[in-house]
Structures are given as C-alpha cells and as structure tokens.
Amino acid sequence: MAQPIQNRYEFTYLFDVAMGNPNGDPDAGNMPRLDYQTNHGLVTDVCLKRKVRNYVDLVRADLGVEDGLNIYVREKGVLNRENEQAYKALGLKPDSKLPKDEAKARELTAWMCANFFDIRAFGAVMTTEVNCGQVRGPVQLTFAKSIEEVHPQEIAITRMAVTNEKDAEKERTIGRKHILRYGLYRCDGFISAHLAERTGFSDDDLALLWKALVNMFDHDRSAARGIMSARKLIVFKHASKLGDAPAPVLFDAIDVKRVTEGPANSFKDYAVAIDRAAIPAGVEPTEIL
C-alpha cells in the first residue's frame, strides 16, 4: 500500500447549475433542496460523494484496474457481497461478528480499505451480517450552499405516448419538472492526515480526488440537472499533519461576491478572491481550478 498523505488539507469547491435541478428533495416532490430560513439552495455531501464515486469508477474501468479503485457504495450494490471478498481473501469464514483475534479483525478492515477507493476516502460502516468493522474516512464535505437565494420554478411537461393499449385514446399526460434558472454553490471540505493513516489514503488518491471534483460533472449529464459545472477548487495545504491554522480562518480568506446587478445569469456575475495576507504561515493555498 502506498504511503498515506503526510499533510492536512482544507479546500473550497465552487460549482454552478443553469436551467436544472442540482439535487432534488424526495420529501418535496423532487424540488431543488432549499434552506427554508434563507431560501438558499442546498446540495448534500452525499450527492457530491456519489459523483466522485461514479467518476473514480469510470477511471478504474478506463485504466482496466482490478484492485485499489473499486467502489464500495455503488448503485444496486450488495454490501455483504463486497464484505465477503475480504473474508475469502484472508481465508476466513464470513461472520456477523469480527474475529476475536484483533490482528485478523484489523486485517479485514485493512483489506477493504486497500481495495475500495471510497472507503479509503470517505470511510464506511461495514458492520453488516458480514462484518468488516468500520472506519472513519479522512475526506469530509459540508453541504454545498448557494451564494445567493435561489428561486425554483415548476415547469409543466407533456408525454405524447401512453403505457397501455387501453389508454391509446386518452389525452396527453401532464408531468412536472423543477429547475433553477441559475445558482452558484459553495462546498467546503476537510482532509485529515491522521485519519488517512488508518485507511491508507495516499497522495495518488488525493490527486484522483482533485481530478474527480474538476471533471465529475462532465460525466454526470442528464436533462433534469441542466448544465452543472465545476468552477473553482481552492486547496489549502498545511505544512504538518496536525495543521498550522484553524479551518474557519482559511475559509474566511475566500471571498465570493457579485460584480453585476440584477439576477445572476452565469459565473461571470461573480468574482472570487483569496486574501493571501490573511492566511497564516505554514499554509499554502493553491488554485487547482
């Protein structure tokens, strides 16, 4: 296994949506998620992690890699089946309890970390009927929140076809879609070098994470999501494992503000600035995108 990362990181990620729904809320008829106190849009961390996972899965398939970049939480995945692989690889019988031998128990968890990218990055609770333990991942994301208020619109759509022969003479079916005309979102993230030691999250994994955040929307197109684009990825690298500045100080050094009047229509309506004088010594800011 490659050496785990040796530095703490924080990062700020900006992305936008035009004429689409970035993250539908199933409790609200799939309307774009909102903070109902402020009317700012929300995109969950789970939604963003899903897109990272999907991108890494594409990279794995493109490179023909069998081990190390597998994805644990995938669409229609069966977690017990994935856990059984670890028991089989170590010559153990699958069980709902971890082996009493602590070394064997650690081996099971370590095998899962070594073979699944998303476990190394985000962690996983693997205490199912086939128990591989649990691990907290070094990479954590906040909910993304829109820079300004967003105003969802409900659009009526029609379906020309019908499902059954008996409905052939019926009028066209009416459906609904929810969209935002435009919204710019900000997500902040954290990467712990100490938690990376437990999962084996390496510099190669880190480089793949950055690549995923930059490119994942280009491989996740759908009519419902409109045009979603990564706009900025600003990374703060600490000189040490423990870190050299509190995360809020670094996040506050990034200012996203409007430079035009009226409703925002595109990313060009905003300016993003980094107050480098406010960044303490020992932290290196880098704009990857």
Q: Is residue 125 part of a domain?
A: yes
Q: Is residue 2 part of a domain?
A: no
Which stretch of 74-78, 192-196, 272-276 has the lowest confidence by average pLDDT? 74-78
140 three-class SS = strand
Distance in angstroms (rounded) separating the CA atoms of residues 273 and 53: 30
Q: Is residue 172 part of a domain?
A: no
pLDDT value of position 263: 93
Chain Cα centroid distance, residue 283 = 24
pLDDT value of position 261: 94
- Average pLDDT of the chain, as a whole number: 94
Tokens of 121: 């990055």
CB atoms within 10 A of CB 260: 12
pLDDT value of position 1: 62
Q: What is the pLDDT of residues 27-53, one digit of tens each?
A: 998 999 999 999 999 999 999 999 999
Q: Which helix (H) or strand (E) holds 59?
A: helix 45-63
Q: Is residue 28 part of a domain?
A: yes
The structural domain count of the chain equals: 1
Cα-based angle 149, 29, 54 (whole degrees, multiple of 5)? 80
pLDDT value of position 165: 79
Q: What is the pLDDT of residues 202-229, one digit of tens each?
A: 999 999 999 999 999 999 999 999 999 9
Torsional sign, CA 245, 248, 254, 255? negative
For residue 49, what are the domain limits? 9-154+177-287
- Asked if residue 52 lies in contact with residue 209, where contact means CB atoms within 8 angstroms, the answer is yes
pLDDT value of position 176: 85
Distance in angstroms (rounded) separating the CA atoms of residues 282 and 244: 6
The total number of residues written for the chain in this structure:
289
Region 79-103: mean pLDDT is 95
Q: Is residue 171 part of a domain?
A: no
Q: Is residue 196 part of a domain?
A: yes
- Residue 111 binned pLDDT confidence (cut-offs 50, 70, 90): very high
pLDDT value of position 237: 98
Residue 90: is its pLDDT beyond 80? yes
Residue 64: is its pLDDT beyond 90? no
pLDDT value of position 140: 97
Distance in angstroms (rounded) separating the CA atoms of residues 248 and 236: 12
Which stretch of 72-76, 88-92, 117-121, 155-159 has the lowest confidence by average pLDDT? 155-159
pLDDT value of position 173: 76
Residue 54 DSSP label: H
pTM for this prediction = 0.93
Residue 150: is its pLDDT beyond 90? yes
Give whole-number Cα distances, 226 to 179, 216, 217, 232, in Å: 8, 14, 11, 19
Q: Is residue 217 part of a domain?
A: yes
Region 167-175: mean pLDDT is 75
User: What percentage of the chain exceeds 90 in pLDDT?
Assistant: 88
Of 58, 56, 216, 62, the residue nearest 120 (C-alpha): 56
Give whole-number Cα distances, 12 to 20, 182, 203, 285, in Å: 23, 20, 19, 11
Residue 4 DSSP label: B
Distance in angstroms (rounded) separating the CA atoms of residues 240 and 12: 19
- Asked if residue 185 lies in contact with residue 41, where contact means CB atoms within 8 angstroms, the answer is yes
Q: Is residue 165 part of a domain?
A: no
